[in-house]
């Protein structure tokens, strides 16, 4: 049984999170906020963690006999498919959510107040909670002030998904036009992500043949 100590498995485990950090850096260093659906946000995180899952739980529970006598390297197809199906299950069962990167809660409230006034004249605020009865949407604002990220999270199980799509479309254009300050924490994400990528490249270049051999051993090719 292999553990993620060789160069290839180390790269497989940490390269996707490093790329994810670089993407976060780009999003937070822009002068405009970025709006994404909760499903896309979670799917990106699942993709960033895929390598860690492969060298961790998948390697620990690897069906050696099936790989040796039946499927060979093809045994990775059902393993990766199982992870993908688990991710899809989580995405389909999670409550609706919208995530806005690089924005303060005060800035988002101003944009949201204009948008919901057009989408639903009966919209009502209660603190950080918002009800849009005509759209069938009830939500609350969940802010990570230090990260300058705000999530619009569904409140309760009874939600109209078409209403959430209308809200998403209604917010997209005003948020694209909004100008905000760059988030300095994005620079930290970028430095860490690029630093990890640089270390992984150096690790591979030290002994490319060993990395190639480790890849062959892991995937049984």
pLDDT in tens, 51-82: 999 888 887 776 666 555 566 677 788 888 99
- In DSSP terms, 35 is beta-bridged to 100
* pLDDT of residue 2 exceeding 50: no
Q: Answer yes or no: is 39 within a domain.
A: yes
Q: Answer yes or no: is 122 within a domain.
A: yes
Beta carbons within 8 Å of 116's beta carbon, 6+ residues apart: 123, 130, 132, 167, 170
Q: What is the pLDDT of residue 3?
A: 39
Residues 62, 17 within the same domain: yes
Residues 108, 137 within the same domain: yes
CA angle, 40 then 43 then 46, to 5°? 155
Global pTM reads: 0.87
Q: Answer yes or no: is 79 within a domain.
A: yes
CA-based torsion, 169, 172, 177, 180: positive or negative: positive
Greater confidence (191 vs 221) lies with 191
Q: Answer yes or no: is 34 within a domain.
A: yes
Terminal alpha carbon distance of the chain = 16
Q: Answer yes or no: is 181 within a domain.
A: no
Q: What is the mean pLDDT of the chain?
A: 88
Task: Residue 116: give the domain boundaries.
Answer: 99-176
Residues 87, 12 within the same domain: yes
């Amino acid at each position: 049984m292999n553990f993620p100590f060789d160069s290839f498995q180390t790269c497989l485990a940490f390269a996707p999170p490093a790329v994810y950090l670089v993407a976060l850096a780009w999003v937070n260093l822009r002068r405009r906020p970025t709006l994404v659906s909760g499903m896309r946000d979670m799917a990106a995180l699942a993709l960033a963690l895929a390598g860690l899952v492969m060298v961790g739980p998948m390697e620990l529970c690897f069906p050696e006999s099936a790989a040796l006598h039946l499927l060979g390297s093809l045994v990775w197809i059902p393993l990766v498919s199982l992870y993908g199906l688990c991710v899809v299950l989580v995405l389909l069962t999670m409550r609706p959510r919208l995530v806005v990167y690089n924005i303060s809660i005060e800035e988002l409230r101003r944009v949201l107040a204009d948008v919901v006034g057009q989408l639903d004249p009966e919209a009502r605020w209660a603190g950080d909670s918002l009800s849009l009865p005509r759209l069938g949407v009830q939500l609350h604002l969940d802010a990570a002030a230090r990260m300058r990220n705000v999530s619009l999270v569904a409140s309760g199980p009874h939600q109209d998904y078409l209403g959430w799509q209308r809200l998403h479309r209604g917010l997209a254009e005003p948020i694209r036009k909004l100008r905000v300050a760059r988030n300095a924490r994005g620079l930290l994400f970028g430095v860490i992500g690029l630093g990890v990528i640089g270390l992984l490249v150096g690790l591979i270049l030290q002994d490319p043949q060993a990395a190639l051999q480790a890849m062959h051993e892991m995937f049984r090719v």
